[in-house]
Every structure is written in C-alpha cells, then in structure tokens.
Amino acid sequence: MAGGQRSTTSASLTEAGQELGNRARKAPRRKYLLVLATATLGLAGGIGALNLVWAEADPERIGADQAGARARLSPPPTRPITVLLVGSDADLLGQTRNGAAPAGPANSDALLLARVDPAGALRLLILPADLAVQLPGDKPPQSLGSLYREGGPALASSSVAALLGLESGQPQRYVVMPRAALRSLVDGLGGVEINLEKPLRSTDKTQNFKVDLQAGLQNFRGNQVEQMVRFLEPSLGEQGRRIRQQLVLEGLLQQLSRPEQGSRLPELLTQLAPQVDTNLSTGEALSLLSAATANPKQIRFDQLPLARPSKAGQPLRQLQKNAAVPLWPKG
C-alpha cells in the first residue's frame, strides 16, 4: 500500500514481503512457504548479536541464597525485546491434529505479542486469531491463526511483523505453547487468581470436553484455565475468548510477580522446556520474566483497530481501513 494506507486483508506490506510475493507467484505453494520460512530464519540469524543484550550469568553467585534468583542469574535486557507467543490448539507439542471441533490439523487459537522494555511498561497485544490476512500470491484471505499450521512459528512471526509494520528483526523471539504446557505452567505457579464475572458452562461431546466454571474470585488450576480460554460463547465468539485471555494473562503476571516465585521459576522453566517450542534460552526467559514482572503496575494491554463486522456471523475480522502504520506499539 502506498501513502501510509493499509489493506484490511494484507499481511504483506513491507518491501521484503512484496519480493516474497513475486517469488510466490512463480513457485508452488510449498516452495513459497519454504522461501518465507527461510527468509524469517535468516532475519533471526541476522540478529545473532541480540545475545549481547544479555550479560552472562556469574557462576560464583549461582550457589548463593535463591531469593531474587531471577534478577541475579539473568539480568534484564538492555533494550526492548518483542516475543510472539503462539497458543496451539493441540494438547502436546508435535501433535499434527488439533483438540478442537471440527477436528483437523493443529492451529493457533491464541496469539500474543509481548514487548518487554526494561525502562518502561510491559506492552501486551492480544492478536485476533480470526483476523483476515492474505499471503502473497494467494487469492482468498485466511485467518491469522491458520498460519502456524501452514508454516510454523516462522510464517506466523513474519506475517505478524508485516501486518503490524514492526521494525526489521521483530519479533526477536517466539514461544509455541500447546494446551498441556499451559496447564503445567498454571499448576507450577500454584494456580492463578481470577475474578470470573459470570459462570461458564458447556459440553462438547465431539471433543469429550466440558466447561464448568463458577463465577467469582477464585484460584483457578491449570485444567480450569484451559476451560476458560477454550470456552466459546455464541454471542461474543472470539472476542469473548480474547477478553478471558486478558484475564488469564493478568492473573499469571500477578502470580509471577510474587517474591516467592523467584526461587521456583528456574526449575519450572526447566520442566516446561520439553513441552514448548521456543528460540529463547532459559536464561533469556528468566531475564524477560524478571523485567516484565519488576513493576506489576506498569502493564499495558493494547488493541488493534478492528472494523465492525459487516454482517452477523462474519468468520473473519478486518482491520480498519486507512489504519496508520505501524499499528503497534503506539503511544
């Protein structure tokens, strides 16, 4: 798009994206995905100097008192770092089938960008999984959540970057978390405290999955948090899911910021490592968590400028026309 305007279904707005689009029109789809994934990994390799952002741990301090272990073993980064969190609807990492209805290949039913700034607020952007995007060379738009199925975290990351107009090399890191890993994270933290405004109840016999949650302030365990983020109410649809995703994130961040979690996090991250796919090292993850939870009051949730649905039951959401680039972070 020229003149700072944006197509509501285009995730290919950068010069690099246009180049990939030209290649895609001359090559089969599988080759295109390989080209795009390779380009993304090339960007990741090009920012290898990012490792210099984190100082190495001091081995002489590892055996010291564990209080404040996060800050001691993993100093915060020296500049803002953006991470893409991909929530997979598969139960376990590596499963090719989803745990949803209708059954099919594993998708991403939750997408989150986190910008950790050691000198400012933690910025969080919940991306609509049902946002319409259009890959170069493709005619019909598809959902943002379906990109993980087609090209993994490389395609998801590069498309999000082009969609939002992120700076080159962002997001620098990614984390793919299937549902079992979410349950393990919540239970490893001792649960999360969430105030649920109304009860949630549903039964899906095709998935053998039941949601039965009471309203009120409670300490939710991992299986209950999974119910919360999977519940889909007819009136709000994916928007309702995004509201509850924010509630879960707020509860997780509050729990992570508690002093007693400092000594638990290294072991918890070690336990979670086989359950997630990420290019974050354990030290980097501890560093980002330390910076993100240093001041719980400095947390900002952002939203994309979504256009109103043109009709009831519209499957894909659109961005507002003429939304200024970059879309995030702003302000």
Q: What CA–CA distances, in Å, run from 114 to 50, 69, 217, 291?
A: 17, 22, 26, 12
Is residue 1 in some structural domain?
no
Residue 98's pLDDT is: 78
Is residue 314 in some structural domain?
no
The answer to which of 40-44, 70-74, 84-88 has the lowest mean pLDDT is 40-44
Residue 262's pLDDT is: 83
Residue 312's pLDDT is: 79
Is the pLDDT at 133 greater than 50, yes or no? yes
Instruction: Report which of 70, 51, 53 is spatially closest to residue 292, judged by C-alpha positions.
Output: 70
- Segments forming the whole domain that contains residue 79: 15-56+65-302
Residue 53's pLDDT is: 57
Residue 2's pLDDT is: 36
Average pLDDT, the chain: 80
Is the pLDDT at 28 greater than 60, yes or no? no
CATH classification of the domain holding 126? 3.40.630.190
Band of pLDDT at residue 46, cut at 50, 70 and 90: very low
pLDDT tens-digit map of 206-240? 777 899 999 999 999 999 999 999 998 877 888 88
The tally of domains found in the chain comes to 1
Is residue 43 in some structural domain?
yes
Band of pLDDT at residue 76, cut at 50, 70 and 90: confident
Residue 20's pLDDT is: 35
Establish how many alpha carbons lie within 13 A of residue 12's alpha carbon, considering only the half-sphere containing its beta carbon. Answer: 18
Residue 96's pLDDT is: 79
Instruction: Report which of 304, 19, 46, 324 is spatially closest to residue 170, judged by C-alpha positions.
Output: 46
Give me the mean pLDDT over the 120-141 stretch.
Answer: 91
Give me the mean pLDDT over the 84-109 stretch.
Answer: 84
Is residue 225 in some structural domain?
yes
Band of pLDDT at residue 307, cut at 50, 70 and 90: very high
pLDDT tens-digit map of 145-196? 999 998 999 999 999 999 999 999 999 999 999 999 999 999 999 999 999 9
Residue 311's pLDDT is: 83
Residue 102's pLDDT is: 63
Residue 101's pLDDT is: 62
Is residue 121 in some structural domain?
yes
Is residue 316 in some structural domain?
no
Is residue 276 in some structural domain?
yes
Is residue 308 in some structural domain?
no
Is the pLDDT at 199 greater than 90, yes or no? yes
